[in-house]
Amino acid sequence: MTRTRLFLAAGLVVALNPLGAQSVTDSVGTSQRKLDIQYVRPQDQRGINMFETPKIAGAAYDGFKIQWGAAFAQQFQGLTHKNTAQPLSQAGTPAITNRNQLQAMGNGFNNAVANAYLHAQLAKGIRIQLTSYLSARHHNETWVKDGFIQIDESPIDLPILNEIMKFTTVKIGHFEINYGDFHFKRSDNGQVVYNPLVGNLIMDAFTTEVGAEAIFQKNGLLGVVALTNGEVRGQTLRASDRSPAFMAKVGFDKQLNADVRTRLTASFRNQGSAANGTLYSGDRAGSRYYYVLENTASTESANFTSGMINPGFTDKNNAIMVNPFIKVKGVELFGLWERGKGRSASETVVREVNQLMGEATVRFLKGDKLFLAARYNKVDGDLGSYRVTPVTGAPVTVSNSDVAVTRLNAGGGWFILPTLLLKAEVVTQQYDRFNSLDIRNGAKWRGFVLEAATSF
């Protein structure tokens, strides 16, 4: 962790002293580092409300270039939790006295998290991106998140290819899958400036997979097709348990006039089977809400998905997400409707889980330095069942076939610089109709989270 902290400190110095690097004045109205890499999303405030990278180069090509970037965030958490689950002792080594007893927690700082970005311009319209998690809740050590090549201009000077690439982007490698639109807004470990709040979704469709993706953009119309290995890492074992995942997205994204922008997309994903289905469990960074609804045997890294819901689909997994977005001057409205279907490898019946989310953000002052935001998020459906073995007695089946989880967030933030952000939110989450032997029975947690971050 010593090297990570030194890297973070150095990054903060650069962020607070942008004149130490090349700078450019843009629409934010503040000095920022010039982008040397083409067709890339800036890691700072300029990247807000940018979804697929646009078909605008953003930088002139004058030969091979490398550009580094970084992002890190620190939170202070003040959350409390409670439940009404029945006590349940569990056999094992060691035996658990009560697996439904909640972990005692108080107010305090969470572990600092950080990302590193490496961008390389190989040729005109061709770049490579490598993202690493330098420190995360799940893994304090450095982990590679993704690495891919993105092609926006034809490497072969043929008229037909040049015409196609005016509207097409091709991505090949290990990359963040383009299912839905929320993954463009969510907090990604140390990168939090795109998210107006601190937390992400309850059922968070976010993962990286190995494959290829093609994006078509013309006159506001959008189309995406992708084929991947369907899992968070490459693997050649248990081939009969693994099948590729197919994804598609259609929609439009149009700036109607100087004040109004509209976007509407629909995404679809299908996968027959996976040894480790990671569509809803692929976030290797972890939840922002440490220890909520975790028992006394939990640890920060092992129980890194606190407050999240994973339906556990590995086979016959089909998912649909619709995302509307509208921006009128400083007011932004973003929504989500999602339906996921699937089953685990041991199940014979396909289950269904639904998700709704609505978010409103208001940005004001010159350069949108201040903002307020609120989000409503609900997940309901069939989470299946699992078996537990009490210290005394026969194994017990715990079923959650018709449950609901609801979260409310409200907060805001202040961009001190386009590279330096302070955020705060209050949050409450409630669990309904969970089995009396499940730790989430009658559960509720609430409180506040403060977050300071830099990204450049």
Look-up: residue for tokens 């000095």? Answer: 31
Contact predicate 273/314, CB 8 Å: yes
Q: Is there a contact between 198 and 287 (Cβ–Cβ < 8 Å)?
A: no
In the numeric block, the tokens 């009404």 are attached to 84
Question: Helix (H, G, I), strand (E, B), or coil: what is residue 80?
Answer: strand
CA–CA separation, 406 and 335 (whole Å): 15
**Angstrom distance (rounded) from CA 9 to CA 70:** 11
Integer Cα distance of 51 and 71 in angstroms: 19
Share of the chain above pLDDT 90, in %: 82
What residues pair up with 445 in beta bridges, in sequence order? 81, 429
CA angle (205 as vertex; 342, 250 as ends), nearest 5: 90
* Contact between residue 415 and residue 367 where contact means Cβ atoms under 8 Å apart: yes
Which residues face 428 on adjacent strands? 408, 446
Pairing of strands 351-364, 370-381: antiparallel
Assess contact for 71 and 190: CB atoms under 8 A: yes
DSSP letters spanning 237-275: SSGGG---EEEEEEEEEEE-SSSEEEEEEEEEEEES--S
- Residue 179's closest CA among 274, 279, 271? 279
Cβ burial, residue 450 (10 Å; 0-12/13-18/19+): middle
Q: Which residues pair with 268 in a beta bridge?
A: 248, 320
The residues of the chain scoring below 50 in pLDDT are 1-29
Q: How far is CA 296 from the centre of its chain?
A: 27
Residue 453's H or E segment, with its range, is: strand 444-455
Give the list of residues 6+ apart from residue 42 with CB closer than 8 angstroms, or none: 32, 35, 50
Q: Reduced to 3 states, what is the DSSP secondary structure of residue 42?
A: coil
pLDDT for 31 equals 54
Residue 222, CA atoms < 13 Å, CB-side half-sphere: 23
Question: Which residue do the tokens 């990278």 mark?
Answer: 53
Q: Which fold has domain 2-455?
A: Porin (2.40.160)
Provide DSSP, 165-176: HTSEEEEEEEEE
Contact 197, 409 (CB under 8 A): yes
H/E element, 14: helix 2-16
Site of tokens 């509407």: 264
Task: Give the C-alpha separation, 430 to 442, whole Å.
Answer: 8
> Is residue 82 within 8 Å of 102, Cβ to Cβ?
yes
369-391: burial string, b at 16+ Cβ within 10 Å, e else: bebebbbebbbbbbbbeeebebe
Reported pTM: 0.90
- Nearest Cα neighbor of 285 from 181, 229, 210, 206 is 206
Domain range list for the chain: 2-455
How far apart are alpha carbons 51 and 54 in whole angstroms? 8
Residue 402 identity: D
Using CA atoms, how far apart are residues 71 and 127, in angstroms rounded to an integer?
20
Partnered with residue 250 across adjacent β-strands are 223, 266
Q: How far is CA 354 from the centre of its chain?
A: 18
